[in-house]
Amino acid sequence: MKHSHKILALLLVFLMAFALSGCSVITITKTAANMNSLDSVSADLNLDLSMDMTMMEETSPFTINVSGPLDIDLENEKGKADLTVDLMGEKLALLLYFEEQEDKFVIYSSADNGESWTKNETALNDGKEKGSSDLKSLAMIKKLAGSFEETGTETVRGNEAVIYSGSILWKDLLADVDLSSAMEAAGAAAESAAGTPLDLSGMDLTALGSIPVTIGFDKQNALIVKGSIDLTETVQNLIPMVMKVAMQSMAAQSGVDAAEMEDFDLSALGFSLDIHTLTVSAELYNFDAVGEITIPPEALAAEVAEAA
């Protein structure tokens, strides 16, 4: 039983990370060992970010919290999230629907209570590659599982849960993983947000450090009922990488040789970001008890968003 617990702990990392990044949370959930017989599950998600931004010796705090329920219909490969985004005390309601189609994962989002919708699509592996990919993922997860240890018990929604904790190194997590398509998608998203082309393919993600993970299993049925991941170190290490790529891109657009920006340090401009906390946590419940999820026709009819 402990062996399957540890395997599931690693799968939780994939579940939560993919849920927030827009990849297929449905496929990842189905892959999870003793959860693969479930037809549906709910989760209460919570993301907390706290940081300081310094510009020209003036420091400003920045906080954001994203929270709300997530329902996943595994049998019909679709889901819904009703989230609240709290940005420095200003709150925004964000309604999401998502579904896995034959060759893509689609997210429908609305920030105005369903009055208007945005559609985003991410390509999935084709059927020929999927089985091999799943086997490789499971083999890698089993290899990493040894870092988790039982650290106690906790009451979660009235039931006793066994808690496991561990830490995963990015260099181990990304071993033998082809990130080309993921980096291309991330670059497109960054370009859309920043309005300038960004080539992220050269970033060394193995240097991002480690991801502390905590996960709880129901003592009676061994299902995951709680989990959290700490991305503070990851994002603190990621920011200089992305900013360097952005500076090189802007330099190239201005006719400056990007090689001249190789050793550029943003601190020379008096700019820095200090990440105090970035954590993602969830409590899982409603096992096989999620009602029917119907994606609104207005969302289905939305145009697919394109990079700016």
**pLDDT tens-digit series, residues 106-127:** 989 999 999 999 998 877 654 4
3-state secondary structure of 286: coil
Mean pLDDT of 270-291: 88
Lowest mean pLDDT among 33-37, 122-126, 171-175, 183-187: 33-37
d(CA 305, CA 192): 10
Q: Are 97 and 80 in contact (CB under 8 A)?
A: yes
More confident call, 172 vs 9: 172
What pLDDT is attached to residue 36? 62
More confident call, 169 vs 123: 169
Average pLDDT, rounded, for the chain = 76
d(CA 288, CA 275): 38
What pLDDT is attached to residue 9? 38
| Model confidence at 297: pLDDT above 70 | yes
Give the rounded percent of residues in the chain with a pLDDT score beyond 70.
Answer: 65
Reported as a pLDDT band with limits 50, 70 and 90, residue 242 is confident
What pLDDT is attached to residue 170? 84
Tell me 34's DSSP state.
G
What pLDDT is attached to residue 296? 96
Helices (H) and strands (E) in the chain, counts: 7, 11
- Domain range annotation of the chain: 2-290
pTM: 0.77
Give the rounded percent of residues in the chain with a pLDDT score beyond 90.
Answer: 28
What pLDDT is attached to residue 221? 83
Reported as a pLDDT band with limits 50, 70 and 90, residue 211 is confident
Q: How far is CA 30 from CA 54, 206, 245, 277, 308, in A?
A: 43, 27, 36, 30, 34
**pLDDT tens-digit series, residues 212-240:** 988 888 888 888 899 888 989 988 888 87
Q: How far is CA 103 from CA 7, 99, 177, 229, 264, in A?
A: 27, 11, 20, 29, 41
d(CA 264, CA 266): 7
- Side chain identity, residue 151: T
What pLDDT is attached to residue 113? 92
**pLDDT tens-digit series, residues 135-161:** 455 555 566 666 788 899 999 999 999
d(CA 227, CA 214): 5
Report for 2-6, 129-133, 284-288: range of highest mean pLDDT = 284-288
Burial of 125 from C-beta contacts in 10 A (0-12 / 13-18 / 19+): middle
Reported as a pLDDT band with limits 50, 70 and 90, residue 7 is very low
